[in-house]
Structures are given as C-alpha cells and as structure tokens.
Structure 1
Amino acid sequence: MRVRVLPRETAAAVITSAVSAMGWAVAAATIVLTVPVLVETLAERDRLDDLPLPVLLLAVVLGGVVAVALRPRRWVVLAYLAVAGLATVGYEVVLLADDPGIIETSPYVVNRPTLALVLVGIPATRALIGIAWSFLGLCVAVVVGIVAARIVEQPYHPGFGPLMVFLLSTVAYLTLAAVQLRIRRRVPNFDELEAETRALAHGEDLSRRTTAVVHDTLLNDLAVVMNAPDRLEPHQAERLLDDLETLRGADWISTSAAADAPGEDQAELRNDFARLASEFQWKGLSLHFTGDRRADYRVTSEVSAALLAATRASLENVVRHSGSTSAEVEIIAAPGTITVMITDQGSGFDPGSVAADRLGLRGSIVDRMAAVGGNAKIWSAPGEGTSIVITAPSDEEALT
C-alpha cells in the first residue's frame, strides 16, 4: 500500500514550527509558576497588600500567550509583544517602586515575565525566521527593563534569564535545521524518484503502444501497397485514409487508459481532466497526472463539475501566484470518495494571512466543495510550495 505524504519542504516547515509551539507552552508555564514564587517573596517582605496588581498584570501576559497560541499570526504576535511589554513594565514598576532592594535579593521574580516575551514567536518555516522572532522578543524584554528602571529611577539590572532563553531557543532552531539538512543529504527525495519512475513507465508504455499502432497501421498499409496492383481498390484506399487519420489524430496515445475504464462515467471524468491538462499547458503549466487506472472514478454530474472547477481554481492559483511551471495532480479513489491532490514547489504562502474577503481559496475551492458534500484542505508556507487536497463523494448508486 502506498503511503501518501506532504512534499518534503512543507513537512520540514511543519516540523520547524514545533519549536515555536514548544515556546508557547514554556512561556505559559513560566507565567503560571511565577505566581506562587511572587506570593512567597512578597510575604517574606511583608508586602502582600501589593499582590493583586502584579498578579493581574501577569494574567494579562498569560492571556497574550494564549492568544498567540490560538491564533499564531504575525500581527497577533506583534500586538502581544506591545501589550505584554507594557504589562511587564507595570509589573516591574510595582515591585520596584517602594522596595528597590527586591531586585538585589530576588531578581528572578522581577525579570520572570520577560522570559515569556523571548519565548513567543510565530510558526517559523525556517530556522533563521524563528531566531529572528526570538531576537525581537529579547529586544522588547531589554527595552522593558530599561523603561521600568528609568521610571523608578533605579539602575538597570538586566539579569541573564532573557539572554539564556534566547540562546536556548537559537540552539533548538539550529539543531533542528542541522537534522533536517542531514536528512536531506542522506534520504533521497521520494517525490523526485517517484516522478522519474512514472516518467520511465510512461515512456515504456508509450513505446509499446506506438509499436502496436505502427504494426497495425503503417506496416500493414505498406504490405497492401507492395502487393496491390497498379490501381488501389476503393476499399483499400479508404483503409489507408482511415489509418492516416488515426495517426494524425493521435487518439491512440490514450487508448490503453480508456480500455481500462469500467464505464462511460469514469471515461468522461478522465477526459475532463485530460482537457484540463491541455488547457493549462497552453498557459505554461506542465501537469503530471497520476492515479490508479483500475480505480472507479464515477461521480454525479454536480460533484464532477465542482471537483473540476475546484481543481481548475487551484491550478489557476499555481499559474498566477506560485511562480512554478509544473504541478502534480494525483487522483485517488477510495470507497465512497474521490480525492484530488494538487502539489507545486512554488513560492508558497501563509494561508492564515489570506483576508476573509478574498474569494479565491474560500469561494472557488473550499466553499464549492462543501456545497456538494466534499471538503478541501490547504497546506503551504512561504518559500515551501503548496499542497491542496480536495475530497469529493463518489456516486454510491453508480458504484452499486
């Protein structure tokens, strides 16, 4: 059984993003664990009356971490750094205003919220991007400490916590990037190997069919001409013209695929995809179709129209936005469903950054398939290509 996987670069982006996800969890845990330490420290210094406001400000920082984890977008992270930075300034000012000595005896309590500023980033597609966001968080943490020290008119004590967190985050990103690089060097690109295998198989199949057609037409016609009298009989001339038309039309190239079709419905869907390939070839996009020839691809006319339209919209996006000149379209038949997977190795994009009023992905693909009982999922990242999986229900009545 064949195991279907995302393209290598897309999968690598997903794995690298795990470092950011781990950072969110550690940041949240850091804020939560600061509360009992804060209570203990203020109790020892007989300042429990000052406790509510610092706890409230810690809650603001924690809420920001949760917001970033639920909606990891660039603007959300930037808003978090701004709001959480202000909350951290207030937190440090409250602790230092009437008790400057607390920074000497308990610096970890004062600087603890700044660790969360360094840990929170975005799902990074590459190690350098993740490191850059961590560095931005470190810069915000430093500015927070300087501003709080100026407000209370005390010397700035940065502490080593934020810097250590940044270094650990950097090591994590670079280690993961090194592992991925090592894997790329040792493990072959199975997508490329499979494409080469299909190309070889297609060439062998075309060679066999070409030999058969030449034997059935050209060689037989030469034998007729050589053995015929000076003038050809009308039926002989008609046969030669028919064979010539067969070779000129080149319908025989897809004859073997049509012969395997279980019915006219399947043949019609195959022909629709063939016409789609021809249409985009004129637009400069080379399509590589794959699929099990023995599978049943029969669907209702409504589902077929939606499936083809969603596929066409996906390919239009490849032509307009990806910068790629080729794409792979795999058609997968399973009991009760038909799935079309469109993959390109183009520039990619962040699906979460697409505005809600843009109809390309939502209206032409996702909503269109939902209307016929199907669905569409999109995986992409900047610089890592795009994979779109479109699933449609098959015609249950036709299959029985």
Structure 2
Amino acid sequence: MRRGGHEGNSERLVNRTVERYGVWLRSAVVLLCGALGLVRADGADVPGALSLLAPAALACGVRLRALRRPLPLALLWTLDAAVVTLVGLSQPVVGGEGANAMVEVAVGISVIAFQFEWATRPVAGVALAGAGGVACVLGDVLSSPGHGPDVVPLVRMLIQVGLSRAGYLIVRARARAADRSAAVRAALRREADVAAARRATEREYLATLHDTASATLLMVSQGDSRDWSWLPPRARQDLEALSAMPGFEAGSVDLAALLSCVPEGEGQARVRLTTHIEGPLAIPSGPGLALFNGVREGVANVSRHAGVREAELRAWRDEANGVVVELSDAGRGFDPDSVPVRRRGISGSIVGRMRAVGGTASITSRPGAGTRVRWRWPDRGRAPQTGHAVRATGVPCPPRTPAQHTAAVRFIRGQLLYGAQLVALLICLVWQFTISLRRLVAHQDVYEPAWAQTAAFLCLVAVAVTGGAHLLRGRRIPPGVRGCCLGAVLAASAVSAYTLPPGHSTGPADWAFGVVGWHALFLLADLRVRVYAVFLGAHTGINAAAVVWHGTPTAAEAAVLGIATVGSCGLQLAIGVLMTHLLRDTAPAAGTAAAREEELRTRERIHEHLQSDHKERYRALTATTVPLLVGLGHGVLSPHDEEVRLRCGVEGARMRRLFAEGDAVSDPLLNEVRACVEVAEHQGVTVSLAVRGRPGEVPVEVRRELVDPVAVTLGRTRSTARVTVVWTPGAVRVSVVGVDCADDRTEAAADPADGRSADQGVSVVRTRRGESVWAEASWSRPVPSGVDLP
C-alpha cells in the first residue's frame, strides 16, 4: 500500500518485474529482427547494415548489464534512444520490403517495452516512443525518396504505446488494491496477535510476581516465622525475577531509598558511611539498581582494600538533570592502571554495569591519597541505551502459519491475475475493432470468399464477449466454456489463413494473425505458460501450413514471415511469460515480503504495548517494592521490625489488586477492592465491606488510583476496618476507615498515588484521628443519559 509516496510490496515487485522483462524483451527482439534483416539484405548492403545494427546490439548488451549494476538514468535513456534511432535508420541500408517489416517490428516492440522499462517515469517512456516514431519516419523517407512517410505504422505504433501504458496501469492498480487489502487484513490480524500476546505475557508475568515477590512480602507481613535465615537469598532472587520483567527498567525508584539500604558490613569489616543525599532522586529502576549494586561493590572494596573503616557517600542531581553518586575514602589508595585485567571488581561490577544502562563510572585514586568513585547516569528521558534490534529481541510474536501465508499469496495472485486478464481483454477489443476491422473492410475484394473472413471476425467477437462477461463479473471462465472458446479461436485462425490468396499471409490483408493470440491469452492466463505456448505453436503451424499449401515460399518471403511471427506471436508469448512470472514468482515474493514486514510491525507493536503495560502497572510497585526487596535481601531491613512488616503488607495488597485487575468480572472495581480486603483478613484484620449504588464502567488507570488508598490503609491496620464503595451517576467514591492504624513513617514511599492522582482526575483525602485513619478517593465520571439515582 502506498503511504506517503511509498510503494507497497506488490506494486514494488510488479514495477521491478516489468522493468526487467521490458529490457529483455526489447533486447531479444532487436537482436533477432536485426539478424533476420541481415539475412534478408543483399551482400553489398551487409557492411552498412552492420555499422548500424552492431552498435544497437551493443547498447542492448549494456542495458542488460545495467540490470545488475545500475547506471545513471540519463545514460540509460540515451542508450535506449540510440537503439531505436539506429534500428530506424537501418531501413534504407537493409533495403526491400523485409527492411520495412524488420524496422516496424523492432521499433514497435521497443516502444511497447519502453512503457515497461520506464513505467515509473512515464515522461521518459513517451519521449522514447516519440524518438522511435521519428526514427521510423526518417528511415521510411530515406528508403523511398520522393514518397511521403506511411502513417499507418505510426498510428499502429501509437495504439500499441497507449495499450501498453494502459495495461501497466491496470496491473499496477490491481497490485495497489492487493497491497491495500493485504494491509487491512494484516492490521486486523496484528491487533488480534497483539491482544493475544499481551494476555499471554501478562499472565506469565503476574504468575511470576505471584510466586516470588508477592509470596515473600506476605510471609514477612504476617511475621509467623522465627528463623528468617531464608529471607535474604529469597529476597535477592525475587528482585532478580522482578528485574527480568519487560518494562521493569521503565519503572521509577527513589535512588535515595535504595542508597539508604547499602549494606555497611558487620563486625570488624563494617564500614561506617557518612551520607549526604539530596533526595528524593527518582530514576528508572534499571539504572537505579545498577547504581545501588555499584555502590555496594565500592563499599565492599573499601572494607577489603582501603585499610580504613569510614567512607563518605554523596548523591545529587546535576544541572543536566542527571544523577551523580560519589563514594570516597581516605584510605591507602592505588593505581587504577595497575589493576590486573582478570580482576573484575572495577571493570565489571562498577564500570561495566553502568555502561550497560547508559551511564558512566570513573575511579580516581593514587597510592596514599585515598580513592574516589563517581557514577553518573544522564537522565535523557528515555530507556537505557539499547538498540532497536535488541529491544525487539525476545518479544513474543505469534508465528505466521503456513495457511495465512498461503492465503495472502493466493489473494495477491488473484488480484494480479484479474489485472492481467483485463489487460489481455482490453488489447483484444481495441486491436480487433481498430487495426483488424480496418484491414477486414479495406480488403474485402481480396478474400476468397469474403463472407468466411467476416464470419471468423464475428466468431472472435463472440469469444471476447463471452469471456469478458465472466471476467467483468469477477467469475472464473468455466473449463467447458474455455475449451469451446479456444476451439473457436483456432477455427477463426484456420479460416482466415486458408481463405487468403497466396502471398498475403501476415501482410496488410491478414487481420487475424496478430489478434488471435490476444484472445487466447486472457482465456489461458491462469494456466502455465507452456499451455499458451502450445496454442501459439498451433496457431503459427496453421498459418505456416496455409503458406506452404499455397506454394513453397522463397528465403526472403520466409524471413518476412519470421519477422512477422516474432512481432506478433513472439510479443504475445513474452507477455504470457511476464504474466506467469507475476503470478508464479512475484505474488509469492510479495506475500513473503509482506509477511516479513508484518512480523516486524507486530513485534514492534507488541513491544510497544508491553512496555506501556508494564511501565504503567509496575511503576507504583517498583517505586516501593524494590527498596523493600533490596533492604531485605541485604539485611538492612529486618523482618522483626513492625514497620517493615506493615510496609510488606501494603505491597502485598497492591500486588493482589494487580492480580485481580485482569479478572473477567462484571464489576472490576469491586473485585480489586475485595482482593485488598482478603489480604488484610489473612493478616488478622476484621474488615466490613459495603457497596452502594449501581456499578458502572471505570477505566483501569482510574481504578488503580481509587483502590490504592484502600490497600495502603488496610495494610497498616491492626484490628478492624470498614470499606465503602459508593456509586452515583456523577461520581465514584471509595473510602476506608482503619481502626488501630500504625503511623506511616515512610508516607512518601508508601503512597505512590500522591502526585499522580490528578492526572486521572482522582482526588484523595486522608485524615488521622488518634489511632484511626480515614481515607477517601473519588472520581467524577460522565453522567450517562437515562440513569437515575439509586
């Protein structure tokens, strides 16, 4: 399909195919007709003819070579113009009637081929056709001084140029129609594939989240274990599983919260960190974890190599909105250039890790002067530096089944076949009712008898009408009808050949020889080209037998007959080969190219949607879950701490709400609220749930903001809570009252909804009175017509 001037696959391959075939057809005809012209010429005229035809043959060879090694367009146009000019001027040199036929056929087919070679540049094709006409006129005038040029060949040439251009436009129109239809079908299939991939991928990721981080945090929130030795390695494994989810790197974390969890070590290996962090420092999760792990490795290096037990950790946002982290100590220092390559602590854990996420890390140190490590991550407002191909790698894409590919190829082939048959039918009708009809009327006194020639003409008209009726109604010609039509065409060929007087075969009085093949072409276009070749052989054989029946032809007459056969049957066979190539090779190639492009588009579309899905769904989780897992995994946060357990309970409720988001239920909002309630009840909280009003549709982004205050409050409630969902025609309100609710010492981290609720039109109000907390989230929704208050 053409978008913004770009060709679709079918149109592009059609243009390339017709260009190549145009060059080959013209070159073959010029060489063959030139050879036959030399055979016809007198011995004394051969050197002069060679002086013109040999350069024309050389130009054809250069043009053929240019198909593989392109040349400038101006040079190609010059070569084509030189061919028709040299061939046209060879007419007076070759001499005789045979020269006229040779030049007419060679130049006539050349101007037809120019419409294919220069199909995408019609002005150049028309100019070359004009050059061919001028060359024919000059050759005719020079070969017959004192006589005016014969205008009949020029008119015939003009008709041929118009038909060839119209034929190309018809086939191109069908190719464009195929591209448009294929694009529409592909878009529908792509949307279905994207939806299926999103559902499948989301199920897999939610299952991973359920089995890892969710289970761990809920166990910590319940605090029913005395031996927590399993927790640190389990938390680190959960963090790795969470980090592997696509879209995780686009989630946001507070680097200040992560750096507060950097382990200092224990006992004599402990390094006391003095921190100066200008927080909060919100950055994507991937670079945040890379910075955390790099700092952790740097603190470990201080403990092992610096000879001191104190270090300073600083972090701030620079003028370019990037993040800078610096770890310095006053230890013994070292020479960074002297570190062996096999030591991976600096090159891999510090420098390499930052380079992988698009940041940098530098080490400044010298013996006796301490060490300073500086990490810098430039916040360019995009994902870490990953190539286009890397982003698409691993993106699930439903495979294109062989049946789908076969259907696409069949559809493109059907469109091209229909266009080819329309072209053949058009040529039949135009040729028969212009050139053939004029010849039939003008030579009625030559035929023996004339009524037989007229009956043959009407027979071909009936064939064209019968086949065209099926074709224009979009129906295939039935085999029985096709067989009868082919028999009628051969009969018309035989009648016309045997009722011509001797010496008139393929001459001006022979109206049927050049038109019969076009009738058979649109009847046999959907079959293999060998079937059409057999028909043309039978047609040529009938006419050759008629010539012999009238008397054995001389060598010169045989050459003229050969040139006429090349000019009509040869051209028709070449067009038949072109049609076969379009149907047998171009259509599968276009289908394959379209399938390849569609697969890339589908992968990109899936990647785009998955990134968007995960970025939105995991944005809140990564901002609060990652610091918890980091702290638990490295022993900075203790599961014995009540505040840690409460935070784990809040995150567990948020994850359960996320799991419920994909359920197919009539009231998704209530379903997500119940998921949070179930988590609180498992932690021993008594919860009462009340629903008022008639449920309606709420966008998923809004539901997340409405339910999050419920998850936070229930997660910090120790005894009882009451949750209410109120639906009105103009608004939705979700409120929760938690009795004996713990203070929120990390409110900024625990409630990521703050600061974002306004984006979705959700307002959140939170009030604390003693040990009780009341929170309400409300959203104004469009008022549907005809809805009354409940």
How high is the TM-score relative to the length of structure 2? 0.27
How high is the TM-score relative to the length of structure 1? 0.47
Which structure is larger by alpha-carbon Rg, 1 or 2? 2
When you count helix as a share of all residues, which structure comes out higher? 1
